[in-house]
């Protein structure tokens, strides 16, 4: 939508709530476009930001992305976007489903560690950032989790009678968001964060607001297919990371090893000094277990 249409459009709040109903039913690179809050030495953090409307060509003011980040048995890391973001099958989700349904508590614990993480991306205007004042008065992308998203939803869908719903992403009738961070049990906690009173962002006139609007980033890139690896690529990476877990990998890698051994035997058969390893009985499993513990 264009800037001019923001005032005359139908309620974006209704559209956002419709999207929420649909949702309910249903690597070292640093991106300097993304703003990150900071915590002071006193163990608290505070910043004042304003969520911005969607850019032209974006239906929603947030992009929703699922991802996985976990360490495999060999120490390798799996850090990838999940294809479930696009409504497609994902190898980690499939593996987690198998583990969860195995009936073993140990498998459920592995599945918990490998569960997908939900992140949201929105455009924001930084009003106050005491830790990094150079960010003030600028437009950034902000990556946040379910806790902050729940507060946005609570503003749009107030729980108590008498509270007026607001569209936090509106230039004129939205509200500034006071982001308050403290450490609870060693983790950052956002429970004290609140929206202020509705009003025009910064008291700016439409000309100033339009300048801000023209700096908003396109959110479509975060859910573009080009931002995700194929199923086969992800499966290959997952197999590499998960090698070393005998319970999960035994059948697959037994087949691989047998094939490799047969190929080796066929290749070196003419050499009298060759002695193939035993492939039957208990020695076979000892051999597989020793290979499962190697670094692949």
Closest CA to 231 of 125, 111, 92, 135: 92
| Domain residue limits, the chain | 5-232, 244-292
pLDDT grade, residue 2 (50/70/90)?
confident
The 3-state DSSP class for residue 90 equals: coil
The domain defined by 5-232 folds into Replication Fork Single-Stranded DNA Binding Protein (3.90.198)
pLDDT digit string, tens, across residues 167-192: 999 999 999 999 999 988 888 999 99
pLDDT digit string, tens, across residues 121-138: 999 999 999 999 999 999
Instruction: Give percent of the chain above pLDDT 90.
Output: 64
Q: Scan for tokens 């809050």, then name that residue.
A: 37
Question: What are the structure tokens assigned to 14, written together?
Answer: 């209704």
pLDDT grade, residue 245 (50/70/90)?
low
pLDDT digit string, tens, across residues 198-226: 999 999 999 999 999 999 999 999 999 99
What gap in Å lies between CA 214 and CA 81, rounded to an integer? 29
Q: Are 37 and 45 a contacting pair, CB within 8 Å? A: yes
Closest CA to 125 of 217, 40, 39, 206: 217
């Amino acid at each position: 939508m264009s800037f001019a249409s923001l005032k005359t459009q139908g309620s974006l709040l209704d559209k956002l709530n419709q999207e929420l109903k649909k949702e309910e039913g249903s690597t070292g690179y640093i991106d300097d476009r993304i703003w990150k809050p900071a915590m002071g030495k006193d163990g608290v953090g505070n910043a004042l930001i304003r969520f911005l409307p969607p850019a032209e060509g974006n239906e929603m003011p947030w992009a929703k992305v699922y991802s996985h980040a976990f360490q495999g048995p060999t120490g390798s890391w799996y850090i990838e976007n999940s294809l479930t973001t696009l409504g497609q099958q994902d190898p980690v989700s499939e593996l987690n489903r198998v583990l969860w349904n195995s009936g073993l508590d140990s498998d459920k614990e592995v599945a918990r560690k490998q569960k997908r993480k939900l992140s949201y991306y929105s455009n924001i205007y930084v009003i106050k950032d005491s830790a990094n004042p150079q960010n003030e008065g600028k437009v950034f992308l902000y990556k946040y989790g379910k806790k902050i998203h729940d507060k946005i939803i609570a503003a749009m869908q107030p729980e108590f009678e008498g509270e007026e719903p607001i569209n936090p992403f509106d230039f004129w009738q939205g509200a500034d968001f006071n982001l308050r961070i403290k450490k609870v049990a060693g983790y950052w906690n956002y429970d004290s964060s609140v929206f202020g009173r509705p009003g025009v962002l910064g008291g700016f006139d439409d000309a100033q607001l339009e300048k801000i609007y023209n700096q908003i980033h396109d959110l479509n890139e975060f859910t573009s297919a080009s931002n995700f690896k194929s199923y086969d690529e992800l499966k290959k990476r997952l197999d590499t990371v998960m090698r070393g877990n005998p319970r999960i990998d035994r059948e697959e890698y037994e087949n691989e090893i047998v094939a490799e051994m047969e190929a080796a035997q066929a290749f070196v058969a003419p050499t009298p000094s060759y002695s193939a390893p035993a492939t039957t009985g208990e020695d076979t499993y000892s051999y597989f277990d020793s290979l499962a513990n190697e670094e692949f």
